[in-house]
Structure 1
């Protein structure tokens, strides 16, 4: 399913009677006054423009089309994406605005969806394989709208790294991987699972989730499926994620607490006492063991509803009031848990396998801390690849950690050194990868065969060189992870760096005026965009209507020109001449620098000419005085 065209009557008072052509093959034109829809074929259209030879044969996805929405800040680029999410996504409730939508399905059939007040009574559209419109009414039943889904059999993916606290939603038929949405949703999920309380930082939860997702992505790409356009960091850290033992006293006896509200609180309190009784590397080992066992017991009792009690462990040889021989007691505790699970009326083989993985993880952490010296406080710094000091990589620990967890995570993962640009690029790759069928275990979470990917200013945080490669990276990457799927991309951008990868027919230019936001007919200077010189695109007045020089520098230059012209006295010129020459020499644009040097030269020569004229006058006066004196002498004789 491909989105080809939208006519919007009025959306948020931002776009009023505006058209958006997403098809590079056809140009649609709707005239409201005459209810006329006409179609014009693009004679420069190239089929499969974004397809590489041989990609379909190896099972990759197919890039159907790419459209860039370009505009300045405040022009309404993001608003276009909002309209698509709120009106075309299946679960959002159908077309809620007065609009006309044209789509094309996999069979090539083009369908029109139109609001009843935007009738289509004439035009040449029937000659272009377009069916009669499906008409929406204001009082149409919601279920009927949903049954006539505009983007049928299509998954919409929305990606953005912008974080401005904007309210974001995710409906059926849509996967929202924007920062605004995930920051809130990750917190909601964690609170619902009772992993954190309402006061816990949602930013910290999001950071943890991002790092873990990025590490899992890197781990999955070790086979070289995807060539990442960046150098991966060499190290990452793991830190035990400790539960805070909530101690609720049921009374005191001899000044000592004698009870706990639950066994998981008691076991965590016991583990904390074991850890506090140790020092050095032994204490670090116990911190990791406390994180693993404490979180596992919490999950057993709260999410598997398995009843455990201190009496049961005491009866099987473990006294939790005793903090002697901590590691022996930990081993004993694991054995009792395993025996308990084996004795359950219905054997849970999954839990038994989990216990085996926990034992393996406990042993690996012991060995790592004993043999690897890079332990800072309670964090363990590990390389991403073998051969960098450690026998075990952070990715191997991550895999073992994932295999040993029930619900709650035992460790927190973090990068040692990663720039904001690297994080942004890695976040984008890992976010899209997290939605592929290989990562979604439940089949009902798999994406549809048709994907509409919306990207809002995805080039943010990227160096211009990475911006230059941004679109090419997407074209190479997305078909590899979304195998066998048809992919349409609509992205927004402020940058002319990216649009040199797209022909004019694949671009929508939006500008803002006093009358509101409007689609304009390409670049103001009517330049071609595909393979255009980026400097040429920057120089177009659409992007830089006040020139290519920064405003501060522009003001400095204007003041410099005024200063040169305002000098009328030679003494004043001599006083500022050196300072002005130094400032002019700093200007990078050679033509402008040369013009200003010429201006200074003219001013300098003016004063030189003035001096020469003055000297000639002085010489003339001196000669005349000499002649007068000589005449006086002759008369006196």
Structure 2
């Protein structure tokens, strides 16, 4: 089944409310006419150049949408994808070729909707074919649509897609998105299907190792966070002056004694700036590298660098509201801790005591290894009362629970690093081999644990809370990253979305997925998709419910069929597509967009195997040409076949060829849009099969057309 055409009744911003028809190159071209307000007639015209299974058994059709920037390509993809926020009135026509002929399926999306967003059948116009052809209602579970774009653009986040693309995660930081992408790549590169694609696509981008290393953190970024507040300013006299000046402006002194006590507390209190400097100067963490003394660590000891980074963030996180319940904890205990784990326990004790000094009689009993006991005590202590010393116990419980969970996340992350310290090279970084079976598991665990730590620190007002970075041992270009991201995203889909395998047909919508590719890769783009996507999609397994076993089990099913619709700005990519499968968009002088129909005189006519720039005059402009690899291979197949047949002909031997093969050769030659190649192949074909004078006339007309085009080009 393929999506053959779409009728767009109106689109205010894209087509100035003028109806448009998109034909994607199926067995027929379609047009639509409103007979009355309630009746729509569909007309069809056979696509005489259509070749069934032209691409491959699994790739049913590949179509392109082209046009200048701003012409509305992404908007059209949104309509095609039927995104959950998409309400453009449109009719979708699907073709299903069978041994008995062709079946039609119609999705009528014109009409009013109810509160649930479903169409009210009574408001839909009646649809009929001019030839009274029967059709069926399109069933959504028969067709799975997948939208992909390599561009991070939150404006297209309303594309609901089963693919895990960047635009779906606008709330995530770029670092989180990057780390998630790295994990996808590792899962893909470690797979067997990756190697099969490498065999098809020898220069497919990859890397051998991942390196996890501490990020360089600047001391100034930490000390400046609270420098203008009581919490961070080491000059308490200066802070006190600002506080007194503020109180004098307000002139509100209901309790002078309390006011004086608050001034004294400012002078006596510690501050984050001094606390940070004290912990940075500890012998086990002190950075003795003079050239890099502005950094928290010298990056020469992975574990110690992780420890001091985490402790630094924990000190910045040490803020609390002073209440009647607040107590104090000796900071020197943290400085004198015998291990990182002991320091974590003291920091948690400090957090808890400052929130509620009555949580434990002896704060040093706090041990993050007794996580369940801490959480249980928190629930028991604060669920009994709603108010404690005029404080809302719900808020107290929430603060202490958050800190317990946060320190637990830090401890889990740290333990994971210690567990894998055998992977630390030269004490400075962790190295993970992509082909190692354990890498996927270890990397996933580290990224998940790291994300939890970052979530706990997310309220610290600092520019970055990233203290590790994950990089490949090979620097990939933007184009390489884009290509690897496309395939790893599709492979990830096949691993986790097996429920979609109940659908036999997939529509893959690619929004400028070739962005950033080198021209050599753009030559391979369509050919690679055609040859490699079946390798990925064939890994999908359907799960059906077995009533006897009372569980879902694997089920045999035909390999899925994949249709591709893509947008591009690249002419090399278009040279791999028959002209009939391309949707051309244009803008008029009023900047309104429209679709150039198949018989529109403005529509470009040459695409498949057509000249992109001046081609070298060897081997019919194929071997060293700039046409797409798919078109090149198809044309070379025709040349090889014709050469063999010519040899038989010249040696007076029987030309043995089936009628189907003869028709396929003729049909392929007819869709070639490069005139010199086409003329040569027609001449070879006519010589072999001794075609009639009528074909000779057609050949002369082709020659005349070529000479006229050549003359016009010279005049230009």
**Separation in structure 2 between the aligned mates of residue 327 and residue 352 of structure 1, nearest angstrom:** 13
**Separation in structure 2 between the aligned mates of residue 46 and residue 298 of structure 1, nearest angstrom:** 67
**Separation in structure 2 between the aligned mates of residue 353 and residue 535 of structure 1, nearest angstrom:** 59
Counterpart residue number, 1:503: 578
Residue deviations 1:490-524 (CA, integer Å, cap 9, x gap): 11112221122222332222233337433224596
**Separation in structure 1 between the aligned mates of residue 315 and residue 451 of structure 2, nearest angstrom:** 10
Counterpart residue number, 1:364: 420
Counterpart residue number, 1:39: 44
Counterpart residue number, 1:596: none
Count of paired positions: 457
**Separation in structure 2 between the aligned mates of residue 103 and residue 266 of structure 1, nearest angstrom:** 70
Counterpart residue number, 2:156: 168
Show the 5 A alignment for 1:104-123: 109-113=104-108, 115=110, 119=125, 123=129
Root-mean-square deviation (CA), in Å? Answer: 5.3
Counterpart residue number, 2:371: 341
2:192 to 201, 224, 242: 224
**Separation in structure 2 between the aligned mates of residue 271 and residue 432 of structure 1, nearest angstrom:** 47
2:148 to 131, 140, 159: 159
Contact 1:112/1:130, CA 8 A, preserved across alignment: no
Q: Secondary structure at the match of 1:110?
A: strand
Counterpart residue number, 1:26: 28
Which stretch has the larger CA shift, 266-275 or 525-534? 266-275
Contact 2:145/2:508, CA 8 A, preserved across alignment: yes
1:6: Cα distance to partner? 1.2
1:285 aligns with 2:303: yes
Residue deviations 1:386-433 (CA, integer Å, cap 9, x gap): 8xxxx9998786245146457345733235622222222223233334
Q: Secondary structure at the match of 1:167?
A: helix
**Separation in structure 2 between the aligned mates of residue 501 and residue 464 of structure 1, nearest angstrom:** 14
**Separation in structure 1 between the aligned mates of residue 440 and residue 589 of structure 2, nearest angstrom:** 55
1:20: Cα distance to partner? 0.5
Counterpart residue number, 1:3: 3
1:322 to 332, 335, 359: 335
Q: Secondary structure at the match of 2:576?
A: coil
**Separation in structure 1 between the aligned mates of residue 312 and residue 445 of structure 2, nearest angstrom:** 17
Contact 2:5/2:23, CA 8 A, preserved across alignment: yes
For the structure 1 residues 44 and 445, does the alpha-carbon distance in structure 2 shift closer, same or farther, using more than 3 Å as the test?
closer
Which stretch has the larger CA shift, 27-36 or 270-279? 270-279
1:131: Cα distance to partner? 4.1
Counterpart residue number, 1:458: 513
For the structure 1 residues 331 and 9, does the alpha-carbon distance in structure 2 shift closer, same or farther, using more than 3 Å as the test?
closer
Residue deviations 1:416-471 (CA, integer Å, cap 9, x gap): 6222222222232333344x14246xx89999665332222222211111111112
Show the 5 A alignment for 1:50-129: 50-52=55-57, 62-85=58-81, 88-89=82-83, 91-92=84-85, 95-97=87-89, 99-103=90-94, 109-113=104-108, 115=110, 119=125, 123-127=129-133, 129=134
Counterpart residue number, 2:478: 420
Q: Secondary structure at the match of 1:10?
A: coil
1:68: Cα distance to partner? 0.9
Contact 1:70/1:508, CA 8 A, preserved across alignment: yes
1:169: Cα distance to partner? 3.1
**Separation in structure 1 between the aligned mates of residue 213 and residue 130 of structure 2, nearest angstrom:** 66
**Separation in structure 2 between the aligned mates of residue 273 and residue 217 of structure 1, nearest angstrom:** 40
For the structure 1 residues 356 and 73, does the alpha-carbon distance in structure 2 shift closer, same or farther, using more than 3 Å as the test?
closer
1:130 to 125, 130, 135: 135
For the structure 1 residues 298 and 324, does the alpha-carbon distance in structure 2 shift closer, same or farther, using more than 3 Å as the test?
closer
**Separation in structure 2 between the aligned mates of residue 468 and residue 2 of structure 1, nearest angstrom:** 25
Counterpart residue number, 2:19: 17
Show the 5 A alignment for 1:209-220: 209-220=177-188
Show the 5 A alignment for 1:252-401: 255=267, 257=269, 276-277=285-286, 279=288, 280=298, 284-290=302-308, 320-323=333-336, 325-326=338-339, 329=342, 339-341=369-371, 343=373, 358-365=414-421, 371-372=425-426, 375=428, 380=429, 382=431, 384=433, 398-401=443-446
Q: Secondary structure at the match of 2:64?
A: strand
**Separation in structure 1 between the aligned mates of residue 279 and residue 506 of structure 2, nearest angstrom:** 49
Contact 1:170/1:176, CA 8 A, preserved across alignment: no
**Separation in structure 1 between the aligned mates of residue 506 and residue 67 of structure 2, nearest angstrom:** 24
Q: Secondary structure at the match of 2:452?
A: coil
1:514 aligns with 2:597: no
Contact 2:74/2:511, CA 8 A, preserved across alignment: yes
Q: Secondary structure at the match of 2:577?
A: coil
Contact 1:267/1:294, CA 8 A, preserved across alignment: no
1:71: Cα distance to partner? 2.5
1:530 aligns with 2:608: yes
**Separation in structure 1 between the aligned mates of residue 468 and residue 147 of structure 2, nearest angstrom:** 29
Counterpart residue number, 2:235: none
Q: Secondary structure at the match of 1:407?
A: helix
1:74: Cα distance to partner? 4.1
**Separation in structure 2 between the aligned mates of residue 266 and residue 447 of structure 1, nearest angstrom:** 63
- TM-score normalised to the size of structure 2? 0.51
1:283: Cα distance to partner? 5.9
For the structure 1 residues 220 and 509, does the alpha-carbon distance in structure 2 shift closer, same or farther, using more than 3 Å as the test?
closer
Counterpart residue number, 1:479: 534
Q: Secondary structure at the match of 2:495?
A: coil
Contact 1:26/1:40, CA 8 A, preserved across alignment: yes
Contact 1:273/1:323, CA 8 A, preserved across alignment: no
For the structure 1 residues 177 and 360, does the alpha-carbon distance in structure 2 shift closer, same or farther, using more than 3 Å as the test?
closer
1:477: Cα distance to partner? 3.9
1:151: Cα distance to partner? 4.4
Q: Secondary structure at the match of 1:471?
A: helix
Q: Secondary structure at the match of 1:14?
A: coil
Greater Cα radius of gyration, structure 1 or 2:
1
1:31: Cα distance to partner? 2.8
**Separation in structure 2 between the aligned mates of residue 480 and residue 458 of structure 1, nearest angstrom:** 19
Q: Secondary structure at the match of 2:475?
A: coil
Counterpart residue number, 2:489: 431
For the structure 1 residues 68 and 329, does the alpha-carbon distance in structure 2 shift closer, same or farther, using more than 3 Å as the test?
same
**Separation in structure 1 between the aligned mates of residue 518 and residue 419 of structure 2, nearest angstrom:** 43
Residue deviations 1:281-301 (CA, integer Å, cap 9, x gap): 6765322135578999999xx
Residue deviations 1:371-397 (CA, integer Å, cap 9, x gap): 517x5xxxx4847568xxxx9998786
1:76: Cα distance to partner? 3.2
**Separation in structure 1 between the aligned mates of residue 70 and residue 230 of structure 2, nearest angstrom:** 57
